[in-house]
């Protein structure tokens, strides 16, 4: 089976993990600190805070910025549910926003602007598929309404400008991401005092970590804020350092594969009315996933099933958050027409650095064969 996503792991990652095991120090320590500094430098930041997931990174970012009960946060519904869940974790209210267009499934600034109220406190962008959102208009909107600007950068690690939009950014190192630590995340914030607040909240709100107490030769610590257990461990950080070192090569390979896809999908875009390949308006992308928009009359589930039978996995990114049962019960009646139509027709094709050109040919050939019969009655 040609998988939608597959991590690139080799002897360097194994050696890094073994070295940590042999060191005897496996919880948060020097490897985590090295990883934080290297990641920050790679993204043009002064420092960073490593955590155990992007969800934790989003939660801590919101908490450090003081967002809480009574506040509203504008957020896309076309995202993974964790983006919206984190807003609820701090007691704020998510206000879900439609996308720009089927060809540009990023949060619509026009729809967002129409949803600003006196309670609106922040905007949370999401760089869907790794396609970098245009920062200028969002910064202007936030300045006009005195709003905080946060990036969910789970799809966009390593590209120029990401994590530098506004008041905070969260990254993911989950197993299907452009670089992985199996599970893990990172927080970037431009204000050192807020980043340090996130760092302290990461470890139960304790004023000294285990390693800090060891170095200081004292067992004493205090807890002066409500914290969480969101620490990254040394094994994941060591793997992350290796992955960060090869990130440019892995992202370059993704870009090359997307170039092949675009070339081979162009005839399908011309042949089938309504067939689209979303591309970033900015021209900048980490190429995290390879989404396509099928023609309106195509049976998406049938196409996915037949491609699976042919040995090609596909998936969907994402069921819109406002259509999920929990959120339907919280806020019934929400309609986001473009988001809903995009979801009905979106299909994600395989994309990862282990793929060869022959794999792209297999995907396109299979899609072409299946698409020709996708409009016929079952």
Residues with a known catalytic role: 177
Tokens of 62: 């919101």
Q: CA separation (Å) from 288 to 98, 117, 265? A: 21, 33, 18
Residues with Cβ within 8 Å of residue 32, at least 6 apart in sequence: 50, 231, 232, 233, 234, 237
Q: CA separation (Å) from 276 to 120, 133, 347? A: 34, 19, 11
3-state helix, strand, coil in the chain (%, to 5): 45, 15, 40
- For residue 292, give the H/E element and its range: strand 290-293
Tokens of 167: 């008041």
Tokens of 130: 């790794």
Phi/psi at 26 (nearest 5 deg)?
-115, -15
Q: Answer for the pair 343, 318: CB distance below 8 angstroms, yes or no.
A: yes
Q: CA separation (Å) from 242 to 35, 181, 247? A: 9, 10, 9
């Amino acid at each position: 089976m040609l998988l939608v996503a597959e991590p690139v792991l080799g002897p360097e990652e194994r050696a890094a993990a073994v070295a940590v095991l042999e060191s005897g120090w496996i919880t948060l320590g020097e490897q985590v600190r090295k990883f934080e500094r290297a990641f920050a430098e790679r993204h043009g930041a002064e420092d960073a805070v490593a955590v155990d997931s992007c969800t934790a990174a989003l939660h801590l970012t919101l908490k450090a910025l003081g967002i809480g009960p009574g506040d509203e946060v504008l957020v896309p519904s076309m995202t993974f549910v964790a983006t919206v869940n984190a807003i609820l974790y701090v007691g704020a209210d998510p206000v879900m926003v439609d996308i720009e267009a089927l060809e540009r499934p990023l949060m619509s600034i026009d729809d967002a602007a129409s949803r600003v109220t006196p309670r609106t406190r922040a905007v949370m962008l999401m760089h869907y598929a790794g396609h970098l959102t245009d920062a200028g208009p969002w910064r202007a909107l936030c300045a006009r309404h005195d709003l905080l600007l946060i990036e969910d950068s789970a799809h966009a690690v390593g590209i120029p400008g990401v994590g530098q939009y506004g008041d905070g950014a969260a990254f993911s190192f989950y197993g299907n991401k452009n670089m992985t630590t199996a599970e893990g995340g990172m927080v970037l914030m431009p204000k050192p005092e807020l980043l340090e607040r996130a760092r302290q909240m990461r470890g139960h709100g304790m004023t000294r970590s285990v390693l800090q107490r060891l170095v200081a030769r004292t067992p004493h610590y205090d807890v002066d804020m409500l914290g969480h257990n969101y620490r990254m461990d040394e094994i994941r950080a060591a793997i992350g350092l290796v992955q960060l070192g090869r990130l440019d090569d892995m992202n370059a390979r993704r870009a090359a594969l997307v170039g092949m896809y675009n070339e081979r999908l162009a005839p399908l875009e011309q042949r089938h009315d309504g067939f689209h390949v979303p591309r970033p308006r900015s021209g900048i992308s980490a190429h995290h996933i390879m989404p396509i928009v099928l023609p309106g009359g195509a049976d998406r589930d049938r196409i996915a099933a037949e491609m699976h039978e042919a040995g090609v996995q596909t998936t969907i990114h994402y069921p819109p958050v406002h259509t999920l049962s929990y959120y339907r019960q919280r806020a019934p009646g929400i309609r986001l027409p473009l988001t809903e139509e995009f979801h009905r027709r979106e299909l994600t094709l395989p994309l990862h650095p282990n793929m060869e050109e022959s794999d792209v040919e297999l995907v396109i050939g299979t899609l072409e064969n299946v698409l020709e019969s996708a409009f016929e009655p079952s």
